[in-house]
Amino acid sequence: MAQKYVGLDLGTSEVKAVLINAGLRSIQVLETVIEPVTLAPQGDTSLAAALDIGIAVLRRRGWNHYPIGVVLPGSFAAYRVFKFPFSDPRRIAQAIAFEAEGQFPVPLENLELDHVPAVVPGGGGQALAVAVRRSAIDQVQAAFKAATIDVKLITVDVLATAQVLTADLPEPAKGAPADARTPVVLGLDIGHATTDLVAFGAKGPIAARMLRRGGVHVTRALQQRYQLSDSEAEAAKRANAFVPHRGQGDLSAEQLESATLVARALEPVVREIEHTRMWLRAEFSAEVVQLRLSGGGANLRGLDAYLAEQLGLPTERARPRESLGLRGLSGHDWTAMCAALGGAVGCARRPLIQLHKDAAVQRGGDGSWIAERIATVAALGFAILAFGVVDTVVGMSALEAERAAYEEELGEASHKVFGESLTSKSEIEDRLNAVDGRDITKLIPQRGALDVLAGFVKAATPSGPKPAPAPTPMVAEEGASPDAESSSATTPTAPVQLPSVDPASGIAWDDEFVLSLIEIRPRAIQFRASATRSSAQERFKNKLLQALPCVIPFQVAKVRDEGTKKVFDPNIEHDCYSSTETES
């Protein structure tokens, strides 16, 4: 059954909305709306003004009962590209929060972060990460909640546009040194205050940048030259401004002066495109073979021809991707409306970027809780935690390359603290125990989620040396039919009887204890664990209370069977975020 969705682009100078009807195979565009945003003096723009206008448009059109995909301007976003020695999207999702720590000018706990994974030549992987201040996301959610409107998606304009851009890639230009490079299209979303650049190939975006230069700078240049008001200069730009290029014919002196003025205002954009091309060649071995323009600023007359001449690249207006099964596209100028359409399509399909506050929890990735709750991590604490988690929780399935990378990072961090490189968890523990038996977490002025997680890792670590693996019995290949002789010689294997374990001994190696989920909140912790014995829960409880005395009642949960494992998921309370000990 078809469902209606709305994409709402909260632009700085205009709010744009698109209503679609999405079925299983096709998407029908029903209506589009553009509403201007009144700018305050001195060019001061407010997200609150765009929100008010957007909500008013939804109510006036009767669209406030449909799921909404909100698109924020590029000025709210920051972009980073992270590279990994593995390409598995699930493992990239687990590691992205650690890589992002310290890479933005704002602490990670004050940001909402999402990413687009990509496979790169050579077997590695990378991710394009997008971060927006959490205060802006909270402001959007609060406004729509007060209006009783369901927000399903929050994203940013340039990646909402990439959601619906055409995926076909032209051939690289003749003579370009791109034989060994990956051809990419460079999309330019030219907004009121910023220009966002995103490089995307056949399988999606791979990198993005943002330039604080947009249509408002053309408006200001006209305003200063001709002594116009803000509104008069904006109207003159929309009606008469153009960029000079070959094929325009003869221009009067006044026209040439005005066109040159506009071109000078756009010079930083041209330079940034060239810098981005060089950056893509050096960092990603990618060659830009085409420019595609979107955003309200892309409607400036002659801009596509001007950029083609200046950069020597084919340039065209952005158009929605036909492979999405989009219908009803005729009669609309999608140059400025692509972001709103992408927001609506992202609601109906899987979005490229989702900045909704509960998005990570809803997706349920193994490492999603880390991105939501871990704040600034000290260098040594980060390295011990990363290595400990790999060693005790997912070490059985980690690739050797990833383990080596964590060992190297652990060695560098421990050298800064201890003056020597320590590359194993046992070496770190020995050094810590040698410091008068003091708990290193007491040196941290205030405990946080990292301390709680470290206690869980310590309690989940099996005691004693790891035993040698048992001999693996020979198993017939799948589908093979054993002959009569081998069949008669085969005896049924009796179920393995696990030995009993001392309740005070903690987790044993043959418990195969795995923490598959942990969610740390200010006053409560929920986690899920599995083991081969039911008694593992009680033994884990005893060790956890030793590691974290701030955990107050630990109610043992009911154990249930899932295959060969015993699974339990208790809810426990804690008071770990402030020290309970008095410093002497």
User: Cα angle at 520 between 519 and 524, to 5 degrees?
Assistant: 110
548 contacts: CB under 8 Å, gap ≥ 6 = 451, 452, 455, 459, 574, 576
User: Cα angle at 18 between 29 and 291, to 5 degrees?
Assistant: 90
Higher pLDDT, 464 or 12: 12
The three-class DSSP label of residue 439 is coil
Structure tokens at 174: 């003749």
Task: Work out the pLDDT band at 323, boundaries 50, 70, 90.
Answer: low
pLDDT at 368 over 50: no
pLDDT at 246 over 90: no
Range of weakest confidence among 448-452, 489-493, 553-557 = 489-493
Calculate mean pLDDT across residues 336-359.
86
Calculate mean pLDDT across residues 510-519.
85
Range of weakest confidence among 52-61, 258-267, 480-489 = 480-489
Specify whether the CB–CB gap between 202 and 304 falls below 8 A. Answer: no
- The tens digit of pLDDT for each residue in 142-173 reads 999 999 999 999 999 989 998 888 656 665 54
The full DSSP string for 468-519 is: PPPPPPP-PPTT----HHHHHH--PPPPP-PPP--TTS---GGG--EEEEEE
Task: Work out the pLDDT band at 375, boundaries 50, 70, 90.
Answer: very low
Could you give the CA distance from residue 152 to residue 51 in angstroms, rounded to a whole number? 16
Structure tokens at 78: 């920051």
Torsion, Cα of 313, 316, 319, 321 (10° steps): -30
pLDDT at 411 over 70: yes
Residue 193: C-alpha distances to residues 52, 76, 130 (Å):
20, 11, 19
From 156, 151, 157, select the one nearest 63 (Cα to Cα). Answer: 151
pLDDT at 469 over 70: no
pLDDT at 327 over 90: no
Calculate mean pLDDT across residues 384-407.
50
Task: Work out the pLDDT band at 470, boundaries 50, 70, 90.
Answer: low
Can you give the length of the chain in residues?
584
- The type of residue at 552 is I
Could you give the CA distance from residue 451 to residue 23 in angstroms, rounded to a whole number? 47
Structure tokens at 403: 């383990």
pLDDT for the residue numbered 171: 55
- Cross-strand bridge partners of residue 548: none
For residue 120, the tally of other CB atoms under 10 A from its CB is 16
Calculate mean pLDDT across residues 178-202.
85
Calculate mean pLDDT across residues 259-270.
91
pLDDT for the residue numbered 138: 94
pLDDT at 307 over 90: yes
- The tens digit of pLDDT for each residue in 27-71 reads 999 999 999 987 554 444 578 889 999 999 999 999 999 999 999
Determine which helix (DSSP H) or strand (DSSP E) holds 18, and give its type and residue range.
Answer: strand 14-22
pLDDT for the residue numbered 445: 40
Calculate what percentage of the chain has a pLDDT beyond 90.
30
pLDDT at 392 over 50: no
